[in-house]
Structure 1
Amino acid sequence: MSSIKIACATLNQTPLDWKGNLEHIKTAIKEAQLEKADLICFPELAITGYGSEDLFLSYWFPQKAVKQLQKLLPFCGDITVAVGLPIRIQEKVYNCVAIIENHELKGFVAKQFMAIDGVHYEFRWFTPWEANKTTSFDFFGKDIPLGDIIFEKNGFRYGFEICEDAWRGDVRPGYRLKDRGVHMIFNPSASHFAMGKTKQREELVRKSSQLFNATYFYINLLGNEAGRMIFDGEIMVADKGKLLLKNELLSFKDHQVQYFELGDAAKGLAEIKSESNKNEEFVQAASLGLYDYLRKSKSKGFVLSLSGGADSSTVAILVAEMVRRGIAELGVSVFLNKLGSSYIPQSENSEKEIVGQLLTTAYQASDNSSFATFQSAKNLAESIGAQFKHWEIGDEVKGYTEKIEKAIGRRLTWKTDDIALQNIQARARSPIIWMLANINQALLLSTSNRSEGDVGYTTMDGDTSGSISPIAAVDKYFIIKWLKWAEKSLGYPGLEKVNGLQPTAELRPSDNQQTDEKDLMPYAIIVEIERLAIRDRRSPLDVFLILNEELEIESGTLKDYIKKFFRLWSRNQWKRERLAPSFHLDEFNVDPKTWYRFPILSGGYEEELKELDNY
């Protein structure tokens, strides 16, 4: 065999952006041609974007994707191109990779297994292809083979496992590819980001190269493609069980191309040893997610109700990091140009200046707000360069309260009307912060976290208001620890006051000494119950039996916490149904549109909780 130079290209695509998506592909092909690459492989569904949802079910959408493929042929001279798109054959749609060589379409490989867990609902759109089966597809009057096919280039035989295909154990296509004697296996993927997930992928790629005695290529999509899922753009190459190439993840660029040469050039390459840091992964993914959401929604910036507490401060830092990281990678002019902004920084400190252009914050004080949280919010906003505004909502709260008191004929008291008096403060903040967002043509950032989503510790049409909820998939216990890490490791001294505060809603009078954990339970306990109840889908009794062994906590207290969690969880599903769109950042989330579906009305675990009482 001779040598072969492979290009692996990740792309940041957008559903229905036909022109932009095709330009990204063409630009990457041109780069690979200049580098004398023999073959370039793109991610899964690169032509349309993976997140096209029910567009895949239409007739016209797959047809237009095929027309885009036809437009690509003239740009594929002296190179082989593997690019993903949907293919409709009569009533069924298949997730395929098209192989083009020297301007000519050679064939389609169809995905054999559908991802149906967590954030994925592929069976809704695609039909799995049958192993060893082939057919033909009419490509503008020419019959093109489609199905379970392998190809050859420069004496190297190669085949494909498309994303989920590789995660199906003993039935995965790789075993049949090995029997056919392939030298290379490509895995074009649309694998969503989750903290810590890259380690799982590394293990898969290493083992696959050894198991199938082939060089294994993994190529993932990049960026916040369609709103919720973020793709990290991971590219990896492994051979004989060793990881030999791995790129920098979560780039702000429209595409990245990495190269790997098989043959003598690959001999003696050192194995790559990579490390992952959950704190760093979180800020990388969330800041890129915010950047893509901002530019793809064509909004002018962000507005944030900055309370001085942990959640809103986290969101503010993520916006600052979006600017810092975007400028560092793209440069000021490209960063702003991609946002559609013509702004030209006037000072040397362009980072803080741009944050000031993109982020407006407001502290909205009620009668129960403290000077400590005001100082915390003001200090943080000024330290990152954000605009800071503040006002009081006492008159609005008083107006609403007096109207309802007159209507019902009695005074409201904290003893009898605690929840109503708390919620009206949170809701009174919403109309005016939305007004500011509308004036600025900006996205309103919601600050709910996953722990609050679990138990409904959030006010609908209050602190849940927003266009996007960046941290709704992350638990509060992680956020509290992350803020301390961010203060020191990312260099944000403005977080010092935030990290010195006890998390509190500040909705009751100050003599109540309200705290979140006093209202609920320790956040560390919520995380443990949530892990078993939601991620692992355990019953209340199972949760108790496991945690009673793992945690040093009195059994009766633990039972009370578990009962409280399950009752609040089932009672507040309607709130989770109405939360603003959120990024998928952790191994699981509680968004019913992307991970965990639960009935809005239910029996509320009453029988299961009685079992717990009787144990």
Structure 2
Amino acid sequence: MKETRLTLAGAALNQTPLDWDNNLQNIKDAITEAITHNVDILLLPELCITGYGCEDLFLSPWLGEEAFRKLLLVKEWCADITVCVGVHVWIGAQVYNTACVIKNKEIIGFTAKQFLAKDGIHYEPRWFTEWPANQVGEFEMLGQKYKIGDLIYEEQGVKYAFEICEDAWRPNRPAERHMAKGVQLILNPSASHFALSKTDLRYRLVVEASKKYQCTYVYANLLGNEAGKVIYDGEVLIAQNGHLIKRNELLCFKNVDLEVSEVSFGENPTIAETITYLPPIDENKEVMAALSLGLFDYMRKSHSRGFVLSLSGGADSSLCAVAVAEMVRRGIESLGVVTFVAKTQLFPLKDVAYFDTLSEDQVARELVGRLLTCAYQGTVNSSDDTYNSAKELAASIGAVFYSWTIDEQVKGYTSIIESALNRPLTWAEDDVTLQNIQARVRAPSIWMLANIKGALLLATSNRSEAAVGYATMDGDTAGSISPIAGIDKSFIRQLLVWCQTELGYEGLQYVNNLQPSAELRPAKEAQTDEKDLMPYDILNQIERLAFYDRFAPDEVYDKLLEAGVADGETIKGWLTKFYSLWSRNQWKRERYAPAFHLDDYSLDPRSWLRFPILSGGFRDELKQIGEK
């Protein structure tokens, strides 16, 4: 065929389920910007009209009808441009996840997703039906008939088709069939959640497909914290014949992030510009970017007025504090001071103007002071080390810092139970009770502060604690959002060192010199988390082998023994403790505050790993290990 040049664009959109005004405005802005660049085909993300995270509302017919009416509004904005829009459609009793192609204000077809995501956090088969390969049908909506199915489209003589997100991750992906039909361009609208290093997999998926199928491949993902737990990195990729042409900056704070490239199609297409991709991924940088964007979107979409944090001076609460500071720093860097402040919707115009007069460092500290309030709640068992760690960190980032003691409240509750039981509570007999009341008493005061400020209370639990229930319910687990519950403790500890050395958060020097401790027992006992549990790196290995790799307990034992982490009896002790605590504490995992999905798996029973609250507790399996 003769050479044809098309201007292609992909746009990442920060959408919210059922937020019609926001979603349609972002779509309109993307189309308007694309038209100014003379774009021929614009690709928008998967299910971008409704938002991907509507969950069981996708099963409500009224939502499908309303989404289609919004699609008809979008159609009228598409003058002299082809726009591909993600929307679900009903045909009879079946719901399909589709990409709608609009060309110059006319809907020319719907491509339906052929492979539904059903692993990890995904439950697509609950809502949608897979479309058969090579099948084309027709449906009627609001009095008009439309083509739907495994369609091939054409733009100025260039044939193009779709892979919708999960379609591209399967061995028998649609692209395998498209090439035989003369397709030269593959479009992939996606809602692919953030996970550490996942962008590297996506890059290879797109670039290697463009090489294998000798085509141009355009990929556009959702952006931001859409519905509460899942964060999207907003990746846009354009590749041709094994060369990367465009790639945007991930996890930005924009509502719309558009990438445009002019691409040549023909027998030997000219590839004018390429980008060198340089792995490996810096996972520390990635997770801080995801945390900060996730917190920002959660704050503004919940209409909250910042954050409140019980800052203990330990690793977990310190990371939460730094994440808020990074939210401010990265937000200003991404949007500029005025746009960032305006997007929070928290400040009057005079404050916006005031912030714009400050230096970069001053405005960051000022905004952290307005958005983050911390409190150190000490007891007789707390140390000067953790107090100084909390105080100095808060001061270094500009957060509001309060300090008070809770000994009187602890004594009050203790005396009530001592009177009722007619005996004193002792550490020898009532260890867990006396630890828990200290953690639990901290919750009412910090909740009061959050309520007064109309702010989100940050819970500070991590994934390693969640695995074994090493947390006090309604105490240190109390909160509106648990941002780091998807990260293990070992990763957190090295991440804090990285934040100090690479990001310049010098206030972390204190916590980085401390051993993690709940500080709930008398100081003379020198309580540490790892003394109570086991080494965190071992705990994390057991957790991953058991619930990500899905090995049986005796297989986990064999693998740890083979790895030489310890002698057999020590490993047996660790495994007995882990599986016993895991089984006993499933009810705690059920009650954790909403957590961000950050790693390639999580322990969240509502979005990744389901486990019975009542079970046999691996008794027989642990007995088998004991007999080895």
Q: So what's the TM-score if we normalise by structure 1?
A: 0.98
Contact 1:3-1:262 at 8 Å conserved across structures:
yes
Partner in structure 2 of residue 17 of structure 1: 19
1:369 to 372, 379, 382: 382
State the distance in 1 between where 2:272 and 2:252 align. Answer: 29
Contact 2:240-2:271 at 8 Å conserved across structures:
no
Percent of matched pairs sharing the same residue: 54
Q: How does 1:211-610 map onto structure 2 within 5 Å? A: 211-263=212-264, 266-275=270-279, 276-343=281-348, 344=351, 345=354, 347-348=358-359, 349-610=362-623
State the distance in 1 between where 2:204 and 2:558 align. Answer: 32
Helix, strand or coil for the counterpart of 2:194? Answer: coil
State the distance in 1 between where 2:337 and 2:551 align. Answer: 49
Instruction: Call closer, same or farther: CA 1:247–1:274 in 2, change over 3 Å.
Output: farther
Partner in structure 1 of residue 31 of structure 2: 29
The residue identity in structure 1 corresponding to 2:626 is D
State the distance in 1 between where 2:521 and 2:565 align. Answer: 31
Partner in structure 2 of residue 44 of structure 1: 46
State the distance in 2 between where 1:269 and 1:225 align. Answer: 33
State the distance in 2 between where 1:490 and 1:135 align. Answer: 55
State the distance in 1 between where 2:405 and 2:623 align. Answer: 46
The residue identity in structure 1 corresponding to 2:403 is H
Helix, strand or coil for the counterpart of 1:208? Answer: helix
Contact 2:463-2:489 at 8 Å conserved across structures:
yes
Deviations 1:393-426 (A, max 9, x none): 0000000000000001100000000000000000
Contact 1:310-1:483 at 8 Å conserved across structures:
yes
State the distance in 1 between where 2:276 and 2:179 align. Answer: 25
Q: How does 1:49-68 map onto structure 2 within 5 Å? A: 49-68=51-70
Deviations 1:232-279 (A, max 9, x none): 001112222222221110010001110122118852433422332000
Deviations 1:483-512 (A, max 9, x none): 001001000110011101110000000001
The residue identity in structure 2 corresponding to 1:198 is T
- Name whichever of 302-311 and 212-221 sits farther off: 212-221
State the distance in 1 between where 2:417 and 2:326 align. Answer: 44
Helix, strand or coil for the counterpart of 2:510? Answer: helix
State the distance in 2 between where 1:69 and 1:366 align. Answer: 58
Helix, strand or coil for the counterpart of 2:317? Answer: helix
The Cα shift of 1:83 comes to 0.5
State the distance in 1 between where 2:159 and 2:563 align. Answer: 51
Partner in structure 1 of residue 4 of structure 2: 2
Helix, strand or coil for the counterpart of 1:136? Answer: strand
State the distance in 1 between where 2:325 and 2:461 align. Answer: 19
State the distance in 2 between where 1:518 and 1:244 align. Answer: 52
Aligned: 1:121 with 2:123: yes
Instruction: Call closer, same or farther: CA 1:255–1:551 in 2, change over 3 Å.
Output: farther
Helix, strand or coil for the counterpart of 1:482? Answer: helix
Instruction: Call closer, same or farther: CA 1:401–1:24 in 2, change over 3 Å.
Output: same
The Cα shift of 1:141 comes to 2.5
State the distance in 2 between where 1:466 and 1:298 align. Answer: 16
The residue identity in structure 2 corresponding to 1:508 is R
Helix, strand or coil for the counterpart of 1:362? Answer: strand
State the distance in 2 between where 1:302 and 1:437 align. Answer: 7
The Cα shift of 1:16 comes to 1.0
Helix, strand or coil for the counterpart of 1:75? Answer: coil
Contact 2:238-2:247 at 8 Å conserved across structures:
yes
State the distance in 2 between where 1:258 and 1:417 align. Answer: 61
State the distance in 1 between where 2:405 and 2:316 align. Answer: 20
Helix, strand or coil for the counterpart of 2:278? Answer: coil
- Name whichever of 362-371 and 346-355 sits farther off: 346-355
Deviations 1:150-186 (A, max 9, x none): 10001110000000011110x2111111111100001
Partner in structure 1 of residue 80 of structure 2: 78
The residue identity in structure 1 corresponding to 2:276 is I
Helix, strand or coil for the counterpart of 1:144? Answer: strand
Contact 2:315-2:493 at 8 Å conserved across structures:
yes
- Name whichever of 239-248 and 155-164 sits farther off: 239-248
The residue identity in structure 2 corresponding to 1:310 is A
Helix, strand or coil for the counterpart of 1:413? Answer: coil
Helix, strand or coil for the counterpart of 1:412? Answer: coil
Aligned residues: 614
State the distance in 1 between where 2:438 and 2:292 align. Answer: 30
Contact 2:291-2:323 at 8 Å conserved across structures:
yes
State the distance in 2 between where 1:552 and 1:576 align. Answer: 28
The residue identity in structure 2 corresponding to 1:386 is A
The Cα shift of 1:89 comes to 1.1
The Cα shift of 1:213 comes to 2.0
The Cα shift of 1:140 comes to 3.3
Deviations 1:311-355 (A, max 9, x none): 000000000000000011111221121111225246431110000
State the distance in 1 between where 2:376 and 2:219 align. Answer: 46
1:91 to 90, 93, 97: 93
Contact 2:112-2:131 at 8 Å conserved across structures:
yes
Helix, strand or coil for the counterpart of 2:299? Answer: helix
The Cα shift of 1:552 comes to 3.5
Helix, strand or coil for the counterpart of 1:216? Answer: strand
- Name whichever of 500-509 and 231-240 sits farther off: 231-240
Helix, strand or coil for the counterpart of 1:303? Answer: strand
Contact 1:246-1:272 at 8 Å conserved across structures:
no
State the distance in 2 between where 1:537 and 1:462 align. Answer: 31
- Name whichever of 373-382 and 126-135 sits farther off: 126-135
2:137 to 135, 138, 145: 135
The residue identity in structure 1 corresponding to 2:168 is A
The residue identity in structure 1 corresponding to 2:526 is Q
State the distance in 2 between where 1:551 and 1:454 align. Answer: 23
State the distance in 2 between where 1:445 and 1:584 align. Answer: 16
Contact 1:232-1:285 at 8 Å conserved across structures:
yes
Helix, strand or coil for the counterpart of 2:54? Answer: helix
